[in-house]
Amino acid sequence: MEALSIRSMFQVSIMFYVIAAVISLVFIKKQRLCNTASNLICAAGSVFGMSASILKIFSEESLIAIHIFQSSIPFISADIKIDNLSAFFVLSLSILVFCVSLYSIGYISTYVGKRNVGLFNFLYSTFILSMFFVMTSGNAVFFLLAWEAMALISYFLVVYEGEYEENQAAGTLYIIMTHVGTVFLMIGLMLVFSHTKSFDIFGSSVGIPILAKNIIFILFLVGFGAKAGVIPLHIWLPYAHPAAPSNVSALMSGVMIKTAVYGIFRFIFFFLGAAHIWWGITIVILGVLSTVLGVAYAYIMSDMKKTLAYSSIENIGIIFIGLGVSFIALAQGNLMVGSLATVAALLHTFNHSLFKGSLFLGVGSIQYSTHTKNIEKLGGLIKKMPITALFVLGGAISISSIVPFNGFIGEWFVLQSLFANIVSGKAILNLLSIISAAALALAGALAIATFVKLYGISFLGLPRSEHALQAKEVPVIMNIGVGIPVVLCLIIGVFPMLLLRVADKVVFDLLGVSLFGQLKGGLMIVYHPLKIPGSVISPAAALIALTIIAVLAMLVIRVIGGKYIERRYGTWDCGFEALNSRMQYSGEAFSNPIKIVFRMLFRPSNELRAVGGSTYFPESLEYVTEFELIFEKYIYNPAVYLMQLFSNRAKVKIQAGSIHSYLIYIFVTLIVLMTYNRFA
């Protein structure tokens, strides 16, 4: 009975998304109505999805199966199977969809009358649906179909504002990279099929020999890594996220790249099993690379959405470190550390979708009211948009993993699992853990700097442009959309047990080990499983302590300093007439020290040019600073060059223009295939 109702709730959720898609096409002429209606329906669907997945995780039912359709043609059937892992990801999807849908009611209304809003809503709801299917599909063929649908729909959303050339280029890069990834996945799944003769995701991989398993692992890692945006497969991400409308970027960064994490859980962790230590080591190394480089690039970007995109790469890196540690631990049979690391990866996946979602939405609000996402043109927004400022601050604190917010919890668990993975007698593995922990700490510091820059330059100080001066607070509905995830971030941050209980249930389902007994301590306190006194943390206590300290400090200042009198003076301006916005610290200036410290990575070049007048008395000065994106320059550009060279050669040699030679190609292919048929 219970399982039945959960199943029907999932079905209702799917139906709502379908209805939203249909409605947006039916009312394509009445844009405002269409936008409100379809977004509200999506939000309603997400409420069902949320409650169904929570119920699912805490129900006794192990697997909920829904058949959408089945056909007599082999392997062509759409069936959904939801276990706890799927339910966890669906929960994360649904929460974000709820917020983003509310937000979109306001955000998309700027497009009314200018663009095809109905089409956008259609794409939006089918995009959600495709992600839902990716997370819940029961067979590999359906999974690939949903995966491709997700890639294509998100491509169309990325190029929704397609009149700008950079958006087209971003879309093209994205679709190429995602298809390269899909090719790897396809080959991997075919290899699986050739050994198991089944496309069942929940099947067993016992029949696959070791060598094939290793090859399949690499194929899956590349395939999912391209979608997740792990360095060095990340190049599409910093272009595609800024190009898409902000609500779509929130979904793409919050959930879509997590489908790759889901895929790694489902196909490598769950299906292949953690067979070798080197799998884990590879994943950890990729994670460390992404974490450090991702945040380093995030720090120097002046486009806010690019910063957030690179920070997504960083967070994916953190998730990968957690995953990798769990692979290493499980391959050695250390179930406890393995489950700790898995919980860490799941926690950070969930948390990241919340705070990254809220940050992208917050930046969308800024873009909505100032029409720019360039940090150098903003400033002083805290006075114009106080509510947005508050929420973005919450998101920024959370993503910088500072205590009372949830970003801290995930990273703390990743670090704990790294420390727990250090055991005597395994020098190289220990070295890896220590270096990873150090890298994670470095990345944490850089992340704080990144978000101090993002928040400080855009919200504090004086407005740097007319747009920033004219900024107004966004509609309430948009603020609600930004606010809900921030509030959730705070709640989870203060009471981590709420989320830990869910994640622990999921991991128990996967590994059969429950951490929960060792995390006891009520709702407020998190113990580390090793019961070392130093590794206990209680975010709630930290919050209380913080408040007490702040109040005490205020009191002390009052008591010692006496009553202070408010005086309103102009700031001393060195004898200039008035302070203007150009005298402030700019974003570029803020990031320059790091650029110089890490000049090996960024290879910055500065140039001071005189403009107008004579050389000695120029009318104005121009300061140009540039940096290199090393992966693009040294890996992708040569690859693209080789491809183009090959294509040009092929055009001359193979595609000679003669119809006879084309016919001969067909003929020869036929002959070769028939010969193959003889010997196969």
Partner 1 sequence: MFSYFDVLSVQILFSSFILMANKRIKSYIKTFRIQSLLIALTAGAMGFSLEKGRIDLLVVCLLIIVLKVILIPNMLEKTYASVEYIVEKDFILNIPILVILSCALVVFSYFSVSTIEGINSGIINAQIVNSMSVILIGLFFMISRKKAIGQIVGFLVVENGLYVTALFSTHGLPFIVDLGVFIDVLTAVVIMGFMVFNISEKFDSIDIEKLNKLRG
Owner of token pair 């974490």: 291
> 210 vs 680, which CB is nearer to partner 1?
680
The reply to whether 663 sits near partner 1 by the rule CB under 8 A is yes
Min CB(663)–partner 1 separation in Å: 5
634 touches partner 1 (CB under 8 A) = no
5 binds partner 1 (CB under 8 A): no
Tokens read off for 570: 């102009």
| Distance separating alpha carbons of residues 517 and 252, to the nearest angstrom | 35
Phi, psi at 426, each rounded to 5°: -120, 80
Nearer to partner 1, 470 or 647 (CB): 647
Query: Residue 651 Cβ, how far from partner 1 at the closest point, in Å?
Result: 5
Whose Cβ is closer to partner 1: residue 608's or residue 671's?
A: 671
CB of 640 to partner 1, least distance (A): 17
278 binds partner 1 (CB under 8 A): no
Does residue 642 bind partner 1 (CB under 8 A)?
no
The C-alpha atoms of residue 516 and residue 52 are separated, in whole angstroms, by: 23
Three-state DSSP class for 537? Answer: strand
Give the one residue of 5, 605, 606, 655 binding partner 1; rule: CB under 8 A: 655
645 binds partner 1 (CB under 8 A): no
| Per CB under 8 A, 73 contacts partner 1 | no
β-bridge mates for residue 80, sequence order:
66, 137
Encoded tokens for 552? 């005490």
Does 678 bind partner 1 (CB under 8 A)? Our answer is: yes
* Burial classification of residue 568, based on how many CB atoms lie within 10 Å of its CB (0-12 exposed, 13-18 middle, 19 or more buried): exposed
Nearer residue to partner 1 within complex by CB, 561 or 657 = 657
Q: Which amino acid is at 607?
A: E
SS3 label, residue 628 = coil
Q: Should residue 643 be labelled a site residue for partner 1 when binding is judged by CB under 8 A?
A: no
Q: Rounded distance, CA 148 to CA 136, Å? A: 15
Using the minimum distance from each CB to partner 1, give the nearer residue, 583 or 673: 673
| Minimum distance of partner 1 from residue 72's CB (angstroms) | 15
Give min distance, CB of 662 to partner 1, in A.
Answer: 8
Which residue in the set 114, 197, 567, 660 belongs to the binding site for partner 1 (CB under 8 A)? 660
**Is residue 658 a contact point for partner 1 (CB under 8 A)?**
yes
Decide whether 172 or 205 has the Cβ nearer to partner 1.
Answer: 172
Please, what is the minimum distance in Å from the beta carbon of residue 46 to partner 1? 43
Say which amino acid occupies 407. Answer: G
58 or 667: CB nearest partner 1: 667
Is there binding between residue 653 and partner 1 (CB under 8 A)?
Answer: no
Q: Which lies closer to partner 1 via its Cβ, residue 642 or residue 654? A: 654
Q: Which stretch binds partner 1 (CB under 8 A): 64-72, 180-188, 573-581, 654-662?
A: 654-662
In the bound state with partner 1, the residue whose beta carbon lies nearer, of 572 and 679, is 679
Query: Which parts of 391-450 interact with partner 1 (CB under 8 A)?
Result: none
Contact (Cβ atoms closer than 8 angstroms) between residue 248 and residue 158: yes
Show contacts with partner 1 in window 150-209 (CB under 8 A).
none
- Residue whose pair of structure tokens reads 């005597």 in the numeric block: 424
Q: Which two tokens stand for residue 233?
A: 């497969």
Under rule CB under 8 A, which residues in 510-569 are in contact with partner 1?
Answer: none
Indicate the residue among 563 and 678 with the shorter CB distance to partner 1. 678
For 202-259, the DSSP string reads TS--TTS-HHHHHHHHHHHHHHHHHHHT-TTS-TTHHHHHHHS-HHHHHHIIIIIHHH
Residue closer to partner 1 (CB basis): 554 or 671: 671
Of residues 555, 554, 552, 522, the one with CA closest to residue 539: 522
Window contacting partner 1 (CB under 8 A); options: 53-61, 299-307, 388-396, 651-659: 651-659
With beta carbons less than 8 A apart as the criterion, state whether 504 and 336 touch.
Answer: no
- If binding is defined by CB under 8 A, does position 644 make contact with partner 1? no
Using rule CB under 8 A, residue 656 touches partner 1: yes
Q: Which of residues 126-145 bind partner 1 (CB under 8 A)?
A: none
Rg (C-alpha) for the chain, rounded Å, is 27
Name the residue nearer to partner 1 (CB basis): 197 or 678: 678
Token pair 């996402």 in the structure block, residue: 373
Question: Could you say which of 423, 523, 554, 664 contacts partner 1 (CB under 8 A)?
Answer: 664
Stretch that binds partner 1, among 266-274, 371-379, 500-508, 667-675 (CB under 8 A): 667-675
Q: Which of 164, 585, 623, 667 binds partner 1 (CB under 8 A)?
A: 667
Q: Is 651 in the site for partner 1 (CB under 8 A)?
A: yes
φ, ψ for residue 606 (rounded to 5)? Answer: -115, 145
> How far is the C-alpha of 323 from the C-alpha of 345, rounded, in Å?
6
Considering only the stretches 234-242, 267-275, 511-519, 657-665, report the one whose residues sit in contact with partner 1 under the rule CB under 8 A.
657-665
CA–CA–CA angle 463, 393, 550 (5° rounding): 110
Residues 6 or more apart whose CB falls under 8 angstroms from that of 437 comprise 415, 418, 419
Task: Give the separation between CA 185 and CA 167, rounded to whole angstroms.
Answer: 27
Give residue for tokens 């898995």.
342
Q: Kindly tell me the sign of the dihedral angle through the C-alpha atoms of 167, 172, 173, 178.
A: positive
- Which of these, 446, 117, 507, 155, lies nearest to 297 by C-alpha position? 446
Q: How far, in Å, CA of 371 to CA of 358, rounded?
A: 19
- Number of residues interacting with partner 1: please give it, by CB under 8 A: 17
3-state helix, strand, coil in the chain (%, to 5): 70, 5, 20
Q: Does 71 bind partner 1 (CB under 8 A)?
A: no
CA proximity to 435, closest of 285, 332, 295, 602:
285
Shorter beta-carbon distance to partner 1: residue 623 or 662: 662
Chain residues that interact with partner 1, rule: CB under 8 A: 651, 655-660, 663-664, 666-667, 670-671, 674-675, 677-678
